[in-house]
Amino acid sequence: MTIRQFTSDPVFRQRYWARNHVGWRHIDKASPNAGHRALADLEKAGVVTGVVTQNVDLLHTKAGSRAVVNLHGTYAQVVCLECAHTMTRAYLAGLLEAANPGFQGGADRLAVAPDADAVVADTSSFSIVDCPSCGGMLKPDIVYFGENVPKERVLQAYSLVDCADALLVAGSSLAVFSGYRFVRHAAARGIPIAIVNRGDTRGDDLASVKVDAGCSPILALLAGELVA
């Protein structure tokens, strides 16, 4: 989704919030997998010093990782584009439910994407809620295409890379520059890079080690070898 689509098209925005209203609790209830838990165990053991994630699902935090940079934000917070007022997604859910009691829109509850986008047949009756502070437009606190990652977040991620003995890329094709930049930064500083991913990635030529495999089994194996 582009920020221009979201801000300029009220029908698009209505469709987005209707689908998100139905689907967001699915992502809120999602549990970490073995890969998330392995990284948390590696952090507790002092092997991993931090995680920079492009995902917005908070699963690294749920797994127990503490030094997490949520590069693209998280689904769990909403921000007003006018006054910058923030609220939790759970609080907004109450406002949306009050405005749309019992709304399901013919949704297929099983068809929910990782960003909480549910399949909803009819969104035309859904009422959007504006900022309770100023009446401005509310948006998930997530970086959309066309937006920049906040500078302080980028600097925090660079700091983690600079302090690391090596950079591990897990489960990313690095197609988006917001993540790829840290691989380029590590390579420029002579920091070894290892990549675990199914298929080619944009950073393969910069990696010292590339493992073409799923993240969870490899990270669990790594944790089993390095965590006493």
> Which residues belong to the active site?
72
Q: How far apart are the first and last CA of the chain?
A: 43
Do residues 57 and 32 touch, judged by C-beta distance below 8 A? Answer: no
Place of tokens 């309770």: 132
What DSSP assignment string belongs to 183-196? HHHHHHTT--EEEE
Antiparallel, parallel or unpaired: β 167-170 and 193-196? parallel
Rg of the chain in Å (alpha carbons): 19
What DSSP assignment string belongs to 162-186? HT-S-EEEES----SHHHHHHHHHH
Helix (H, G, I), strand (E, B) or coil at 82: coil
What are φ and ψ of residue 3, in 5° steps? -65, -30
Closest by Cα among 54, 84, 58 to 180: 54
